[in-house]
Amino acid sequence: MSKTKSTYKYDIEGHEPDPEQKRDADRLIRVCREHLDSLDEAMVRKAFTLCYLSHKGVKRASGEPYYYHPVAVAEIVASEITIDDVSVIASLLHDTVEDTKVTLDDIEVLFGEDVAHIIDGVTKISGVFKSRNTKQAETFMKLLLSMAEDIRVVLIKFADRLHNMRTIQHLPREKQLQIATETIELYAPLAHRFGLFNIKNELEDLCFKVIDPNSFKFISRKLREKKQDREAFIEEFMQPIRKELSDQGFEFEIKGRPKHIYSIFRKMQRQQKPFEEIYDLFAIRIILNDPHKKEDCWRVYSIITDWYTPIPKRFRDFISVPKANGYQSLHTTVITKQGRKVEVQIRTHKMDEIAEKGLAAHWKYKENKEGSETLDKFVTWVRDVLDNPRPDAATEFVKDFQLNLYQDEIYVFTPQGELRTLPQGATPIDFAFDIHSEIGERAIAAKVNGKMTPLREKLDIGDQVEIITGNKINLNPDWIDDVVTHKAKSRIRQFVKQKERQVADEGREIWEKKAKKNNIEISEQELTKVIQKLDYDSTKQLFYEIGKGSADVKELVRVVSEFKSKGRVEVDVPEETRPLTEKEIQETYINAARSISDDDALIINGELTNVKYSYANCCNPIPGDDVIGFISRIGDVKIHRSNCKNVRHLIQTDGERIVDVSWAKNIGSQFLGAVKVIGEDRVAMINDLTDVLSKSLKTNMKSINVNSDSGMFEGILTVFVDDIDHLDRIMEKLHKVEGVKSVFRYE
């Protein structure tokens, strides 16, 4: 980059600040002073001025001046991630190169190489986001790659995304869903891996609010209702501990915030329990101020367990063995005299900073050995996961990757006593691949704690594992279901692909011999045309089927001969399997927007339509549910609940087919809903439940499915309802039936 190419048109030095500009710049400087260790104030002001001038006159979707956004991102970077002033400067300018006349050369001349480098990285990533053809997975890989270059690029990208999510309500609904899905699938897991827990939690809650507004509102209301109870309980629980700690001269802080909404929701789903039965809605955190050291955490632990009985199984020592993202803390769950279980986390101030800001906090400590080692580990980790970046495997890659991100970790040992960290659920096969891919490929057996053990058996915390290898490759394709690490999965898949290629080559040979015998000459291109009619994706797939013996080569000869004589092939293709063309999708949109119709209608993109639609039976939406539409392959619209798992997938693969839909006022038909009832197993329980439905609510029931086990009753009632209110009323009444413990909507 040479200085002569500089083309910036803004009079930064000579510009007399506007009042609002001065006000906002002063506020940012205040935030920086409060949080950053060192600050080049003149440089930050200069960046602010260029940001202000270059975006002048442009507005955001909310109608606010555009420069509010980069300034907000800079504030997040300064106060919530807390990196350095270079990152604040880069944040202020992060959208300039892409959206304004400012060039990278300008930035380098004015702010130096570091800032230019970071902005280059941020711009490249967002370039990928804008090109519609690139799939998310590739974006994700780019993100990782840029991280390996300069971690600040990704941290700014997180701050950028966080501010965009905080202000997402100004965008149209389908855009909101698209962004929220991308954020929850890619950014949140990555933030988790970086240990940016605060940001990860907020991103998840903001996404959840978009994707499933009803559940979000429900849980936040419940949390508000319970707030006083919770605070009183924490006060009572801590009172003796607080006194004892003070008496012994500890300086500390106590935090008792509830878990974030999305994690509570996930817990309810996983455990199939209503809100009231999730006991660990919060953990009590005891944070020791400086200069307390890690030894003091153990002393605190001992004080707590003098007062309350610990549950040994729930004890975790992340201080001696930190998590891969650097997280350190002591966790224990204790029982109060009233029988209530409480999780207590004990850590030092520095550990807490790392727990909330993860990698960003390590950046701050990078001068220390510990900090720089953790940073190095991240870079190695990124290189490791990007070891095998085949673009066709990108989607699989992201899937495995996300799986690994959220999993709990276990640690195991090599025969030499070296510690290895693996995701929970890992088997000796994972362990073998983790050591070296060659060991994985040649593994024939394992010794766990000195005992011969099947390769597929799950490992436990603390196991010592030895892998016994053979001389040749022993890789078994079925292992794919027994491994959880990305490394093992990708190598096994690669192996399977190789095998498939061999079979396909054999199949091709069979076909070529047969073709020669029947005097058929056909070009690869023509053959491709023919087999598409036969519903094969590629000649490779066809040859593979022939090689395997599952496709009939004689049938192929017949079809090809027919094609050669008539010039076309007649095969019945069921309509569903034919994908819609781009044009047909467009037409569906246009028809949907044009037609106006009667009561029994759906509203697409704000207009009443009589386009053909149906309800997805994966999530069975009911009027009142938050819904979206998906234009199916045959051109009608499928209505899903917006929190449906399948929709997430569809947004990723076919985002352009999503349409915003809402319920018309008069639907006039009935819908199927299911509720789960849990309670005491007593005589006449079923009778009482069905009575409520038929007598007091005039509801028709489709089916009832009952399970009773050791005095507990569990029933799933499928009923016909008008709308969500109707279903809510049913649930309320069922709850009041004698002996019923909980009632919730069943998916």
Instruction: State the amino acid at position 188 in one-letter form.
Output: A
Q: Can you read off the two tokens belonging to residue 495?
A: 């192996």
Q: Within 13 A of 349's CA, how many CA atoms are on the CB side?
A: 9
Restricted to residues 688-707, the positions that interact with Mn ion (CB under 5 A) are: none
Which amino acids are annotated catalytic? 98-99
CA distance 566 to 326: 68
Rounded to the nearest whole angstrom, what is the least distance from the CB of residue 652 to Mn ion in the complex?
Answer: 22
Rounded to the nearest whole angstrom, what is the least distance from the CB of residue 656 to Mn ion in the complex?
Answer: 23
CB 67 within 8 A of CB 57: no
Q: Which helix (H) or strand (E) holds 410?
A: strand 409-413
Where helices occur in 549-613 by DSSP H, the ranges are 553-566, 582-594
Bridge-based pairing of strands 443-448 and 451-453 is: antiparallel
Rounded to the nearest whole angstrom, what is the least distance from the CB of residue 167 to Mn ion in the complex?
Answer: 11
Q: Residue 168 or 304: which CB sits closer to Mn ion?
A: 168
Rounded to the nearest whole angstrom, what is the least distance from the CB of residue 95 to Mn ion in the complex?
Answer: 5
Q: Residue 75 or 95: which CB sits closer to Mn ion?
A: 95
Residue whose C-beta lies closest to Mn ion = 160
Rounded to the nearest whole angstrom, what is the least distance from the CB of residue 291 to Mn ion in the complex?
Answer: 40
Burial class (CB in 10 A: 0-12, 13-18, 19+), 498: exposed
Bridge-based pairing of strands 330-335 and 316-317 is: antiparallel
Query: In degrees rounded to 5, what are phi and psi of residue 76?
Result: -60, -45
Rounded to the nearest whole angstrom, what is the least distance from the CB of residue 157 to Mn ion in the complex?
Answer: 9
Bridge partners of 662, per DSSP, are 603
Q: Residue 143 or 351: which CB sits closer to Mn ion?
A: 143
Rounded to the nearest whole angstrom, what is the least distance from the CB of residue 191 to Mn ion in the complex?
Answer: 17
Transcribe 413-436 into DSSP letters. Answer: E-TT--EEEEETT--HHHHHHHH-
Q: What share of the chain is helix, strand, coil (3-state, %, to 5)?
A: 55, 15, 30
Q: Residue 146 or 643: which CB sits closer to Mn ion?
A: 146
What is the C-alpha radius of gyration for the chain, rounded to an integer number of angstroms? 30
Q: Residue 72 or 592: which CB sits closer to Mn ion?
A: 72
Q: Residue 95 or 205: which CB sits closer to Mn ion?
A: 95
Rounded to the nearest whole angstrom, what is the least distance from the CB of residue 327 to Mn ion in the complex?
Answer: 29
> CA nearest 686: which of 670, 703, 671, 673?
703
Q: Can you read off the two tokens belonging to residue 16?
A: 């007399």
CA distance 378 to 388: 17
CA distance 673 to 651: 25
Build a one-symbol-per-residue string for 79-108: x at contacts with Mn ion by CB under 5 A, - elsewhere: ----------------x-------------
Rounded to the nearest whole angstrom, what is the least distance from the CB of residue 80 to Mn ion in the complex?
Answer: 16
Rounded to the nearest whole angstrom, what is the least distance from the CB of residue 162 to Mn ion in the complex?
Answer: 11
Query: In degrees rounded to 5, what are phi and psi of residue 364?
Result: -65, -35
CB 412 within 8 A of CB 431: yes
Q: Can you read off the two tokens belonging to residue 278?
A: 């999730």
Q: Residue 95 or 434: which CB sits closer to Mn ion?
A: 95
CA distance readout (Å), 510 to 146, 270, 523:
47, 50, 16
CA distance 407 to 484: 9
Burial class (CB in 10 A: 0-12, 13-18, 19+), 525: exposed
CB 238 within 8 A of CB 334: no
Please, which contacts does 646-653 make with residues 24 or more away whose CB atoms are closer than 8 Å?
646/616, 646/618, 646/619, 647/619, 648/181, 648/184, 648/185, 651/177, 651/178, 651/181, 651/182, 652/135, 652/136, 652/181, 652/182, 652/185, 653/135
CB 740 within 8 A of CB 691: no
Site size toward Mn ion, by CB under 5 A: 2
Q: Residue 97 or 361: which CB sits closer to Mn ion?
A: 97
Q: Can you read off the two tokens belonging to residue 489?
A: 């999965």
Q: Residue 160 or 212: which CB sits closer to Mn ion?
A: 160
Restricted to residues 124-183, the positions that interact with Mn ion (CB under 5 A) are: 160
CB 459 within 8 A of CB 412: yes
Q: Residue 64 or 276: which CB sits closer to Mn ion?
A: 64
CA distance 45 to 42: 5
Restricted to residues 518-577, the positions that interact with Mn ion (CB under 5 A) are: none
75 binds Mn ion (CB under 5 A): no
Contact residues: Mn ion, CB under 5 A: 95, 160
